[in-house]
Amino acid sequence: MRRTTRRLAALCATTALGLTGCGLQSGGAMPLSVEAGSITPLAGLEGAEFTVGSKDFTEQIILGYILEFALSAAGADVRDLTNIVGSQSVRLAMQNGQVDLAYEYTGTGWINYLGNEKPIPDATEQFEAVRDADKANGIDWVNPAPMDNTYALAMNQQVAQETGVRTLSDYAALVNRDPAAASLCVETEFNSRQDGLPGLAATYGFDANAISVQILQTGVIYQATADGSQCRFGEVFTTDGRIKGLNLTVVEDDKAFFPRYNATVVVRQEIADRYPEIAEVTAPISAALTNEAISELNKQVDIDGREPADVARDWMVEQGFVTAGSD
């Protein structure tokens, strides 16, 4: 039932962002309740109303619920608008005032929203650059998390042992030495983007045309890489729970080619100015969101089949941020 509700909200988000009939201006009720833990009610947030948004994939939905539970424990009245289809739809909803805050990725902000072509390799410098530039658009970026959901190549354990590949420099050497052993599965976008395969090949010094490249849907790539049948290496996202669930090994980006995609709290500037407590409440949460932590939460949904709201609340309880309410 909860998944059906979220998908309806997503459909409304993409077809009628301005219609109150879709509930986008107010959102829906949180699916689960929480009480105070280390996060306790703050006078400045008591009774304040916020709508939390997210994109439509597992990690984003989990992060959206984490924000909702945190604000609720701090005394706010929170509305749920997670699972909006597409980055641009969430961005537009924030700019229109229909979403007050969400988790967004620094690389997405810098490249997709602000139109920059060249990412900044250092995570802190990338955050500061996107934070400073987006102020002109009325968006405040606060509390970047250590988690970095960037691109990577991965392989199964057998391929790792057979090839000895540990880094992307090793992979480039393999391509140049034995291209047949370096077959690769990627999605369409990665195959053509400059922060994807073309730029990767240029940075590490190999000919992408020399290897067999299969274009697959994102979800299929993980299983194909684990099987090793269609490809020996695959494009993955570094915080995806299927990496752990399928026992894949990530190839180290030893030249720091891929952009930084650190999850960061984004707040409408009007809301951030009026409620500075939001930054206070979310700071320890972002600090706890490491790659290992979010990968495990993603795995519980994508591999184990649990509901994102349950996974998010359990993590918040385990971290001591909140206690579970009576649903």
Q: pLDDT tens, 255-310?
A: 999 999 999 999 999 999 999 999 999 999 999 999 999 999 999 999 999 999 99
Distance CA 287, CA 263 (A): 11
Residues 144 and 190 in one domain: no
Residues 271 and 244 in one domain: no
Distance CA 71, CA 80 (A): 12
Instruction: Pick the last residue of a domain from 205, 228, 251.
Output: 251
Q: Is residue 257 part of a domain?
A: no
Neighbours of 312 (CB within 10 A): 27
What angle do the packed helices 58-73 and 277-288 form, to 10 degrees?
A: 130
Assign residue 64 the CATH number of its domain.
3.40.190.10
Residues 142 and 167 in one domain: no
Structure-token pair, residue 185:
């599965």
Report CA dihedral (64, 263, 142, 124) to the nearest 10 degrees: 170
Structure-token pair, residue 173:
């050497």
For residue 297, give its domain range.
2-148+262-324
- pTM attached to this predicted model: 0.85
Q: Is residue 227 part of a domain?
A: yes
What angle do the packed helices 291-302 and 58-73 form, to 10 degrees?
A: 110
pLDDT tens by residue, the chain, 327 residues: 233 333 334 444 443 344 333 444 557 999 999 999 999 999 999 999 999 999 999 999 999 999 999 999 999 999 999 999 989 999 999 999 999 999 999 999 998 899 998 889 899 999 999 999 999 999 999 999 999 999 999 999 999 999 999 999 999 999 999 999 999 999 998 998 778 999 999 999 999 999 999 999 988 999 999 999 899 999 999 999 999 999 999 999 999 999 999 999 999 999 999 999 999 999 999 999 999 999 999 999 999 999 999 999 999 999 999 999 887
Do 174 and 163 contact (CB within 8 A), yes or no? yes
Assign residue 210 the CATH number of its domain.
3.40.190.120
Sheet holding 101-105, edge to edge: 77-81, 49-53, 101-105, 262-268, 139-148
Residues 39 and 133 in one domain: yes
